[in-house]
Each structure stands twice: as structure tokens, then as C-alpha cells.
Amino acid sequence: MKLCDIGNTNFSFNDAEKFSTEHFDISSINERVYYIAVNHYWEKRLENEENWINLRDFVDFSKYYESMGIDRIMCMEAVNNALVVDVGSAITVDLIRNGHHQGGYIYPGFSAMEKTYKDISPRLEVSLNFDIDLATMPKNTEDAISFGVIAPMVSYIRSLADKLPIIITGGDAEKLHNFLPCARIDEMLVFKGMKKTIDKGVELRS
């Protein structure tokens, strides 16, 4: 079964293939594709393609809030009890208990944060150090910045998860995993949610 997660920059397929949204040729695929899209242009563009099935129409949105991204919703659909951390251009942290979304929050992604410091002052332009020791208070600017981004985030994720498993997904999952070795990385989480949504098989908004 072909699944596709369409973001702002890439078409990502469940066989690990990726294509830029700028150069993607839909005529290259004739089989049925189940997809989600946060990219409004492509969602509109695929509306009349018979073999492209938008999974947005299969989601029970009453379980989520209105403006929540469909990719984030699919990750939620994949789990029953977990704290899910999606580390991409933004970092989303969502709590799911007994299959119910308890809420979540949004933090800027790591590259966005690097840019933020640089924009405040050229003296704060550094690359985040993902080998920093969170047990020692920093005594230089580079570490002070990396610590500022990572320490409060990691500490809060730990306290929020309590005894729930932590699942990390998204392109920068590995970077955060350094600080949360007890967490599980699952790069296929969004596809697992899509698969589960298809298996439920009820078109709720037909």
C-alpha cells in the first residue's frame, strides 16, 4: 500500500522515497496513493486525481483541535498511550492517554532557534551543541545557548511523560534522542497512523 506525507518541501513515501514538492510529477504514479498534505497547493492540486486519496476525509476531527496539522494528527492516531515528540521545522509535543489527545504544545525547531539567536545579536550566532552536558551549568556562550534551548525542553518532556513511553519522530529525532535515551525513535509513526486510519475504513466526511 502506497502512503505519502506531503509537507511544504517534500513528498515522503512509506518506502522511504522522497521527492521535492517543486519538481514532483504526479503522472509518474498510476497506482492508488493514500496521502496527507499540510501543503495547501498540493492538496488542492490532487483533489481531482482519482488514484490520490486524501486521508483528511477519514479523520474524526472532533478528537482534535481545529487548526492542528494533519501530520501531527496522524502521529496521534498511531498510538494509544504516549508522549509523542515530532522534531522537525517545529517541535510538537503531544500527550495521548487511552487513545485520547490530552493537548500539546509547539516549540520552534532547532534550526529556527539557531537563527533566532543570531538575529538577536551576532555575538549569539552559534551552532547548537548536541553533546552538551545538561548536569553542568554552562560557562561559555555556545554552551549557554545550547543549554538554554535543550535543558528546559528535555526536563519538561521528562516530567510530562512521567511513566508514559516517549516516542520521538521527525527529521531531527536523533538530536533530541541524545538527551532522552529512554525514548523510542519511530520514523514511521506518521505512516503507522495513516495505515490505522485506512484500516478503520470509515469515510467520516464523505
Residues carrying an active site annotation: 71
129 scored as a contact of its own copies (CB under 8 A): no
42 scored as a contact of its own copies (CB under 8 A): no
3-state class percentages of the chain: helix first, strand second, coil last, to nearest 5 = 35, 25, 40
C-alpha cell at 103: 493537548
Q: Which is nearer to its own copies, 2 or 89 (CB)?
A: 89
Stretch that binds its own copies, among 131-139, 164-172, 178-186, 195-203 (CB under 8 A): 131-139
DSSP letter at 121 equals -
Chosen residue from 59, 76, 145, 180 binding its own copies by CB under 8 A? 145
CA 206 – CA 203 distance, rounded (Å): 6
41 scored as a contact of its own copies (CB under 8 A): no
137 scored as a contact of its own copies (CB under 8 A): yes
Find the binding residues for its own copies in span 74-93 (CB under 8 A).
89-93
Chosen residue from 17, 60, 119, 203 binding its own copies by CB under 8 A? 119
| CA-to-CA dists, residue 167 to 11, 54, 176, 187, angstroms | 23, 26, 11, 10
Output the CA torsion 15→21→26→29 (10° steps).
-10
156 scored as a contact of its own copies (CB under 8 A): yes
110 scored as a contact of its own copies (CB under 8 A): no
Q: Which is nearer to its own copies, 120 or 204 (CB)?
A: 120
122 scored as a contact of its own copies (CB under 8 A): no
Position 190, amino acid = V
DSSP letter at 165 equals P
Q: Which is nearer to its own copies, 81 or 116 (CB)?
A: 116
Stretch that binds its own copies, among 24-32, 153-161, 170-178, 197-205 (CB under 8 A): 153-161
CA 146 – CA 10 distance, rounded (Å): 28
| CA-to-CA dists, residue 127 to 114, 122, 130, angstroms | 7, 12, 9
The phi and psi torsions of 8 (rounded to 5 degrees) equal -75, -25
Residues in contact with its own copies by the rule CB under 8 A: 8, 65-68, 89-93, 95, 102-109, 112-113, 115-117, 119-121, 123-124, 136-141, 144-145, 147-149, 151-153, 155-156, 159
